[in-house]
Structures are given as C-alpha cells and as structure tokens.
Chains A and B, each alone.
Chain A
Amino acid sequence: MAVGFEQEQSVTPDDFIKGVWKQNPVFVQVLGMCPVLAVTNTAINALAMGLATAFVLLMSNIVVSTIRNVVPKQVRIVTFILVIATFVTIVDYAIQAVSLDLHKALGAFISLIVVNCLILGRAEAFASQNSVARSALDALGMGVGFTLALLCLGGVREILGAGSLFNVRLFGESYQEWVVMMLPPGGFFTLAGWLLLINWYQQRKSRLQEAKESTL
C-alpha cells in the first residue's frame, strides 16, 4: 500500500464483468465453499445467502477502499475484519427482521460470512489498492457472480431434490424426490457437475481458438 506509487486507473466495465464470469468467485476461484455447499439446498436459501454476501462485500469494499490510505499496514487485516463483521451484524439483524424462517434455515452461516475468504480476499487484493468507484464495481461484479453461482447450485438441488423451484411445484404429486440432493453430498455432486461443465466449455473454447490461430 505504498501511497505515493498508487496509480488512479479509470473505471472500466471489465471490473464488473470479470467477477461475473472470468473470475467467478465460485466456479473459477473456488472461494467461499462453506456457504456454497451448506446452504444451497433450495433456491430461496441460495438467493438469500448470495444477496447477503453481496451486500457485505459491496459495503466492506467501499469502506476499505475509503480508509485505505489511513490504515497502518501492520493492522490492516484486523481492520478489514472489523469492517466486515460490522456489516455482517447488520445483515444478520436485517434477515432476522424480514423473515425468521429464513434466518433459521441459514443458521450459523450468516455469521460465518465474516470468515468468507472471498470478502477478505477482495478487501486485501483489490479494495485496499484501488479507488472507491472501482472497488464498488469490483464488489458488485463479484457479488453478482457469487449470487448467480449459488442460484445455479440451489436451483438444480431444489428441482431434483424437491421437484420445485422457489417453492413452486414443477411436477405432479407423484414426482420421486432425489433425497440425496437435499443432503450435504448433493452439494458436492452439484458443485462438481457445474465445475465439470464450465471447465469443459473453457477447454473447448481454448482448443477452438488454438485451432483457429494455427490455421491463420
């Protein structure tokens, strides 16, 4: 955090897009696996968890970026964690006020947003070195990417495990639920399936690009 050498770079749309796709926190960086595996058993839980994390990420990135020049280097991690914990407490009370059922379903994992390495990682790697506008955009991108990834998992698990999506029944009464998809192993299976699909797509894309370059 050498203040004198910091270069103000202009805000680019790439700050946002990289979090959604190229550096997606779940599918590419594979960060924050604890909530990804634990609370994605239904689409609603996944959405709530994703939005809560995105909110904490956005607010903490803004605050960390604002105070980045006044925090001594030696105590920066502690300061970041305090900032993050403040917003997690706000989210915790907010969810409790909005829906007690949701609060019960998410359980300890709301408080555990504090230790989500995605948030500290963005604070340390991006917000502490970049302007407020860029940090906010970065947090928005990462937050949207995280929420989308959680929805991908939660959607598949709820459709297979309960035959519904956002509590709307998709199939008839006689649908046979795949019980395992609602249980912890289902989280691992679904995550593995999505990672497989995305890696396969990326590899195919780079193979096609190589072939194109070699013919030119």
Chain B
Amino acid sequence: MKQGLKTLTIRSSPHIGAVSSVDTIMFNVVLAMLPVCLFSIYAFGLSAVLVLITAVVSCVLTEHLLCRINGIPTTVGDWSAAITGILLGLTLPPGLPLWMVAAGGVIGIGGSKFLFGGLGCNAFNPALIGRAVLQAAFPAAMTSWMRQTQGRFQSLPSSTLTVPFTKPVYVDGVSAATPLSAWKFEEKATSTPDLLMGLTTGSTGETCAILIIIGGVYLVARKMMSWQIPVSILGTVAIFCTILHLIDPSRYAGPMFHMFSGGLMLGAVFMATDMVGSPITHRGCVVYGVLIGFLTVLIRVWGGMPDGVMYAILIGNAASPHIDHWIQPKVYGSAVKGVPS
C-alpha cells in the first residue's frame, strides 16, 4: 500500500516479497478487462463510452470524496474503485440514463464498500450491489436493451442524456430482447456463434464471450485469479443444463446457449472471482462456484427473471464466510482439521 510518509517500518518476515501487491493485481485486472471494454464500445458506440466513463468517474470520485470526508489517505490509487466502475459499466444496459449509472456507482462504492470499512471489508461485490439496487429501483430502464445499430458512433440514444431524476424516453424499435429473454418469453433461440462473437443485444460488456475468456486466461496465467471459481461455475451450469436439455429439449435450452448468453461469462470470470467476496481455500472456491452455477440455472429456468447471475453471485458472496468456516485446511502437524496441536 502506498503511504504518504517514508519512515522506518519494522516488518515481520518474509523480507523479500513478491512484487505483486494489491495495486499491481488490480491494475492487471483492468488490463484484462480492456478488450471487453473496447468491444463494447465497438458494439454499442458512443452510449457505451459514456456509460463506462460515467460509471468509473462516479465510483472513483465517491471513493475519493468519502476518504477526504473521513480524513484518511485516499485509496483511489489501488485501482479497486476503477475496477468496480468498469464492472458496473459493463453490466448495465448501454442506453441507460447516465444519472442512473452515476447513482449505481455512488450506491455501490458508498453503500456497500465504504460503509463496511473499505477494500477487503466489503461482504459483497460493490459493482453488483450497485447494479442490484438499480435493477430493483428502475426495473423498466434496466430491461430496455439497445440494439447494435448503424449510427451508433454518430448519435446517442434518446435515453442516455436524460435529465437527472426524470424518466427516460425510449424511441420505439430501438430496443430488442436479449438472447435470454427471447428464449424465456418468446422461445426463440440464438445461435452459438453469434453469442460467442457478441453480435447480440445485452449489457454493455456481456455480449462477447471470447474476449472475456481471453481476459480470464491472462489473469489465471499470471496467477492473479483463482481458476477454480470460473471453471466450477461454468462446469456446474454445463452439467445441469445438459441434464435438463436431455429431459426436454423443447423447454430447456442446451448448455452452450446458457454458458455463453447473458452475464454468466462476465460474472464467472470477473465478478465471482473478486478476492474479497470469495472463499480462501481452493476447495472452498469449488463449493462456491458450484453454488453460484446451480443458483444461476435455477433462477434462469424457474425464476421470474431471464438472468440470475447477479443474484447468484451475491448469494455466493453471502455464503463464502460460511464456506470458509466449514472447509478449513488441515493444519500441518495436527490430527484434527483446523485445530493446531
């Protein structure tokens, strides 16, 4: 951590540490998300640019101001607020009014991270809390999905620049169903190549599964992310959906559709792996991943909403301290789990 004063500090061993600190890991997460951000700008144009910038600025500014008010050194430099902002921006619909985006950032950072004591003390993923509150507060705006149109780089959708605290106005025919809602409400399937390439409607950053996987592989290769979590989430979803698909193919979509549609890939790779909200042990991570995958399919197939990744991850966050409590590694040299002799 960066400290303002350079004084002699007494530290316990090890004295030669690895170079990776909170800042460098967080910065690499930002790097891994950059391709996803760039694709979202390509897919949704100016509105995606504005949504992402607003989300990041509101998160970073909230963190900075709250630190200043409380008279502690600003923690903006550790990149975690920026990551929350990018993640929030990536999970919101591209045409969302910017004042709602900013409100989500303030609620996420202020209400679910800073009030609990800042980075490392938050029980839930701040970006997802921001999104969950927005989803509950503005259900209409949060489910108006913009199409990828031709003039996306020249003009903004009418809803983006809505005056704060007023209702957005949507032009007819601009919005369309996401692959998941099309399946749920109209029983229309979307082809897997389209889902992989991101040529669908959806949240700003959830459409292109390939780029998200590339970002995840980069982080795993640099040992900055636990691979157990995304693999167990996606594996559970795949197995569960295959069983359902084999029972009744006309009612339940196949595993490929569920794995690459909606926010599952983004959630499994970048949200569920948040180090603060996930369990500590590898076995705990697998349990956590299986729980999230199972809940996701449960909400998608039998719930009222098309996508349930957000709620599944939040429930997973809530369960992770308990998972850590139950699954404790055997302490070296002891006979009983978790109890040193």
Chain B contacts for A185, CB-based, 8 A: 136
Chain B contacts for A181, CB-based, 8 A: 137
| CB interface residues, B 126-147, toward A, < 8 Å | 133, 136-139, 141
Chain A contacts for B163, CB-based, 8 A: 174
The verdict on A174 contacting B138 (CB below 8 Å), with A180-B133, A196-B115 known, is no
Closest to B111 in A: A189
CA distance A94 to B133 in the complex (A): 39
| CB interface residues, A 168-184, toward B, < 8 Å | 171-172, 174-176, 178-181, 183
The verdict on A176 contacting B136 (CB below 8 Å), with A171-B165, A196-B115 known, is no
Residue interface mask A117-137, B partner, CB < 8 A = 1: 000000000000000000000
Cβ-defined contact, A180 with B136, below 8 A: yes
State how many angstroms separate the Cβ of B336 from the closest Cβ of chain A. Answer: 40
Cβ-defined contact, A176 with B167, below 8 A: yes
CA distance A172 to B166 in the complex (A): 9
Closest to B168 in A: A176
Interface size counted on chain A using CB atoms at 8 A:
12
| CB interface residues, B 143-172, toward A, < 8 Å | 163, 165-168
Cβ-defined contact, A179 with B138, below 8 A: yes
Cβ-defined contact, A174 with B166, below 8 A: yes
Cβ-defined contact, B167 with A180, below 8 A: no
Cβ-defined contact, A176 with B115, below 8 A: no
Q: Which of A174, A183, A196 is in CB contact (< 8 Å) with B167?
A: A174
CA distance A175 to B162 in the complex (A): 11
CA distance A180 to B141 in the complex (A): 13
CA distance A106 to B64 in the complex (A): 43
Chain B contacts for A171, CB-based, 8 A: 165
Closest to A172 in B: B166
CA distance A96 to B290 in the complex (A): 52
| CB interface residues, B 251-268, toward A, < 8 Å | none
Closest to B141 in A: A176
CA distance A175 to B137 in the complex (A): 13
CA distance A171 to B163 in the complex (A): 13
Chain B contacts for A178, CB-based, 8 A: 137-138
Chain A contacts for B167, CB-based, 8 A: 174-176
Cβ-defined contact, B136 with A175, below 8 A: no
CA distance A181 to B136 in the complex (A): 9
CA distance A171 to B167 in the complex (A): 12
CA distance A89 to B165 in the complex (A): 43
State how many angstroms separate the Cβ of A54 from the closest Cβ of chain B. Answer: 32
CA distance A176 to B137 in the complex (A): 9
Chain A contacts for B136, CB-based, 8 A: 179-180, 183, 185
Chain A contacts for B137, CB-based, 8 A: 178-181
Cβ-defined contact, A175 with B166, below 8 A: yes
Chain A contacts for B133, CB-based, 8 A: 180
Cβ-defined contact, B139 with A176, below 8 A: no
Residue interface mask A177-216, B partner, CB < 8 A = 1: 0111101010000000000100000000000000000000
Chain B contacts for A175, CB-based, 8 A: 165-167
Most chain A CB atoms below 10 A, which of B138, B163, B165: B165
CA distance A171 to B138 in the complex (A): 17
Chain B contacts for A196, CB-based, 8 A: 115
Chain A contacts for B141, CB-based, 8 A: 176
Q: Which of A172, A176, A183 is in CB contact (< 8 Å) with B138?
A: A176
Chain A contacts for B166, CB-based, 8 A: 172, 174-176
Chain A contacts for B139, CB-based, 8 A: 179
Closest to A196 in B: B115
CA distance A196 to B110 in the complex (A): 13
| CB interface residues, B 101-142, toward A, < 8 Å | 115, 133, 136-139, 141
State how many angstroms separate the Cβ of B210 from the closest Cβ of chain A. Answer: 35
Chain A contacts for B168, CB-based, 8 A: 176
CA distance A196 to B138 in the complex (A): 25
State how many angstroms separate the Cβ of B120 from the closest Cβ of chain A. Answer: 21
Most chain A CB atoms below 10 A, which of B136, B139, B163: B136
CA distance A185 to B163 in the complex (A): 26
Chain A contacts for B138, CB-based, 8 A: 176, 178-179
CA distance A185 to B314 in the complex (A): 15
CA distance A176 to B168 in the complex (A): 8
CA distance A179 to B138 in the complex (A): 6
Other 15 A-B pairs with CB < 8 A, given A172-B166, A181-B137, A183-B136 = A171-B165, A174-B163, A174-B166, A175-B165, A176-B138, A176-B141, A176-B165, A176-B167, A176-B168, A178-B138, A179-B136, A179-B138, A179-B139, A180-B133, A180-B137
Residues of A in contact with B (beta carbons under 8 Å apart)? 171-172, 174-176, 178-181, 183, 185, 196
5 contacting pairs across A/B (C-beta < 8 A): A175-B167, A176-B167, A179-B137, A181-B137, A185-B136
